[in-house]
Homo-oligomer: A and B are copies of this chain.
Amino acid sequence: MSTNQQIRLRRRPIGAPTPDDFSIVNSPMPVVQDGEVLRRTVYLSLDPYMRGRMNDARSYAAPVALGDVMVGGTVSEVIESRTPSFAKGDFVVGMDGWQQFAASAGTGLRKLDPRVAPISTALGVLGMPGLTAYVGLLDIGHAKSGETVVVSAASGAVGSIVGQIARLKGCRAVGIAGSPEKCDYIERELGFHAAVNHRAPDLRGALRAACPNGIDVYFENVGGAVLAAVLPLINRGARIPLCGQISQYNATEPAHAPNLAPLLINRALIQGFIVTDHADRFGAFMAECGAWVRSGELRYREDIAEGLENAPQAFMGLLEGKNFGKLLVRVSADPTRAGIAPSVR
């Protein structure tokens, strides 16, 4: 415990990130000042948005500076506290980034009760990805019972929740995913009504078959060819919450979007949103989705890489769709899960 292993941005990737874009640094342990809290990272969340932060481009958040610790959501255990707000042994969710330890006054940390839900869920189904799904589907997409909801990257952290909330709200839930195994999983384990492999030779035909009543909401996570297949199938008044475009994140040239005539003909909309604008919905989200998680109606899967040093490789895989479920890095042992084998629920 004498050093703090960190993963820093060494250079800005051109196209897909490579291991050389990151550096692994052993920094000194943070020094805890009065009023501060020191914590050890248990889980680091890996999410597609991080690719954008590696670029030096205008976006909705500032880029990571060269040489800085990579940004990221974390679940941590408090190991020393010099503030009454936290006690040793508390579990907290925050944005400590790709490192083993962090110290601060604790602004932005939220305490977790491990008796309510596994602490890792604060980075997934009951955290930012879950809120993203909830807000995008309900507040941007205005999904209503009886409608058909299509979601891409459907076995991923956000997509898997979108489809299940859609089902729980009485919609027909159709997922688009990248392998037969992922398609099986969302249909059999998560209860989607249908699944379509985006590598199918006739994607549009497969989607049409899966959506006999057309598409009312398309929750867009990927961009590219999938959006092109979806647009001709949208219904009048369709809503397309634009959450991500993972197929584009490693692109060196901005890709075109498909022709927008279906939007006009169908009085439909595409609306971008960023989950951090919707923090006011966290309470409603936790009340509803927390109950569904506890009752088993809302399921999730975690794909856990072991050890901070493996975070770059896991992240590179995420951008290629190699993960299966919410991608986490176990940075240190999870004291709440002693004896539970990783990656299995």
Contacts and interface: CB of A to CB of B under 8 A. Distances in A.
Given A254-B259, A260-B242, A269 B270 contact: yes
Interface string A222-247: 01000000000000000000111100
B259 A260 contact: no
A269 B267 contact: no
Interface string A40-54: 000000000000000
A271 interface: yes
A258 interface: yes
Contacts of A333: none
A271 B236 CA distance: 12
A264 B248 CA distance: 12
Interface in A258-309: 258-261, 263-274, 277
Contacts of A254: 258-259, 261
Given A257-B258, A259-B257, A265 B223 contact: no
A149 to B, nearest CB: 19
Nearest to A253: B259
A340 interface: no
A256 interface: yes
A115 interface: no
Contact of A257 (B60, B256, B269, B273): B256
A255 interface: yes
State the oligomeric state as a number of copies. 2
A59 interface: yes
A141 to B, nearest CB: 12
Contact of A266 (B245, B264, B266, B272): B272
Interface of A: 58-60, 223, 242-245, 248, 254-261, 263-274, 277
A268 B259 contact: no
Given A248-B259, A257-B257, 17 more contacts: A59-B265, A60-B265, A242-B264, A245-B261, A255-B259, A256-B257, A256-B258, A260-B270, A263-B271, A265-B272, A267-B271, A267-B273, A267-B274, A269-B270, A270-B270, A270-B271, A271-B271
A263 B255 contact: no
Contacts of A244: 264
B60 A260 contact: no
A264 B261 CA distance: 20
A268 B271 contact: yes
Contacts of A268: 271-272
Contact of A256 (B256, B263, B267): B256
Contacts of A263: 242, 270-272
